[in-house]
Amino acid sequence: MPNADFTQRCEQLIDDLTRSGQLKPFYELTSPMRPVVQIKGRGEVLVLCANNYLGLADHPEVIEAGIQGLRDYGGGTASVRFICGTLDCHRQLETRIAKFVGTEASLSYVSCWNANEAVFPTLATEGDVLLSDELNHASIIDGCRLVSKKVEKQVYKHSDLEDLESKLKAHADKRCRWVITDGVFSMEGDVAKLPELVALCQKYDALLVLDDSHGIGVLGATGRGTPEHFGCLGQIDIITGTLGKALGGAAGGYVAPSQRAIQVLEQKARPGLFSNALPATVAYSAGKAIEILERDPSLVTRLHENVRTIRSGLAALGYQCADSPTAIIPIMIGDEAETIRKSARLFELGVMAIGFGFPVVPRGEARIRVQVSAALTDEHIQRALDAFAKL
């Protein structure tokens, strides 16, 4: 029999979530991720909440590459990287990522979550200070929680350059100042003020860390992300990102810093030392996704067009959505119950767009988050806007 206190605690938590309307449903898909999916018990639904920004998740070449990876290397390495888990396809992928994002080198992990948990505890040491944007992703927050107690950590107000500068000044005596930001903020859909952050980091001799998980494949004329959008390629000290969104949508993440920093991470970072290497299937499929993008940036152009069409269409219907080049469009509603109700109604209308409330976003700022894909056709977009009109 399990411990009674434990059982009661679990029941209480689920009851509380059910009563407050915060219990998340887990829809089961019976088809690949694509603009229109099949959901068990519901049938066909138009997806406006996937990170499949370029529609590469079911691209025939990406699928074929994954199969080839499986054929060439089997199911996996059955090892961490430093024992016998480093495959030549890992190195090929890492070279390709570094070239694509404009850094000296890169190192892959099984997720960007792992990459963020590798970077901060491994590379920040006693006498440093970490300055992190208050809306940074949970993986950055948790990564920062893992650093030594001898590293100071502070949060600066969201995209507030004055607040950041005052903190940089106050920590002028530190060995190393770190400024950490998302490229595209996942709940707001806004973009970091990258040129200003680069300038501040130069002025105060700080390291700039950019998590570009929602920027890679999305921003910039050729999808190289937030640095390309602002003309800052090659100016970021450390970039992290995911392979689980625009770049094939499977899983996997990377860190792209200097070659020296990679050597330290390879030797010391615990997610790489104690957790298996990226499966070859993903190394192949993500590498293929980047190759497709390098060959044909028109996918990014189509994504940008779709973003403009959906943003202006929603605004014309009276929805409050901020102007931004990103593929994340939060539709602010405020009240949590109302947001959940509206998201459920959209689902009835055949459109999947999830409502987010506290604690993912602050109380009173509940929203439906729309995410745009290059794979949406004009007909899909019209269907989506018709559903929002009926709301």
Ligand X SMILES: Cc1ncc(COP(=O)(O)O)c(C=O)c1O
Q: Please list the active-site residues.
A: 186, 214, 245
Q: Can you tell me whether residue 142 is helix, strand or coil?
A: helix
Q: Residue 138 or 344: which CB sits closer to ligand X? A: 138
* Residue 113: CB minimum distance to ligand X, A: 3
By CB under 6 A, residue 226 contacts ligand X: no
Rounded Cα–Cα distance for residues 236 and 257 (Å): 8
By CB under 6 A, residue 159 contacts ligand X: no
Rule CB under 6 A: is residue 113 a binding residue for ligand X? Answer: yes
Angle, in degrees to the nearest 10, between helices 194-203 and 161-170: 20
**What is the distance between the alpha carbons of residues 118 and 264, in angstroms, rounded to a whole number?**
10
- List the one residue from 94, 117, 133, 182 that touches ligand X (CB under 6 A): 182
191 binds ligand X per the rule CB under 6 A: no
Angle (CA) 352 353 355, round 5°: 130
Cβ distance to ligand X smaller for residue 139 or 373 = 139
Cβ proximity to ligand X: between 111 and 326 the closer is 111
Near ligand X by CB under 6 A: residue from 77, 111, 306, 343: 111
180 or 387: whose CB is closer to ligand X? 180
Q: Which stretch binds ligand X (CB under 6 A): 108-116, 219-227, 228-236, 311-319?
A: 108-116
**331 contacts 319 by C-beta, under 8 angstroms:** yes
Does residue 190 touch ligand X according to CB under 6 A?
no
> Would you say 186 or 306 has its CB closer to ligand X?
186
> Buried b / exposed e across 277-311, counting CB within 10 Å, b at 16+?
bbbbbbbbbbbbbbebbeeeeebbebbbebbebbb
Q: How far apart are CA 249 and CA 32, in angstroms?
A: 11
From residue 135 to residue 154, the character string flagging contacts with ligand X as x (rule: CB under 6 A) and all else as - is --x-x---------------
Radius of gyration of the chain (CA): 21
How far is Cα of residue 115 from the mean position of the Cα atoms in its chain?
Answer: 12
Which residue ranges make up the site for ligand X (CB under 6 A)? 111-113, 137, 139, 182, 186, 211, 213-214, 242, 244, 253
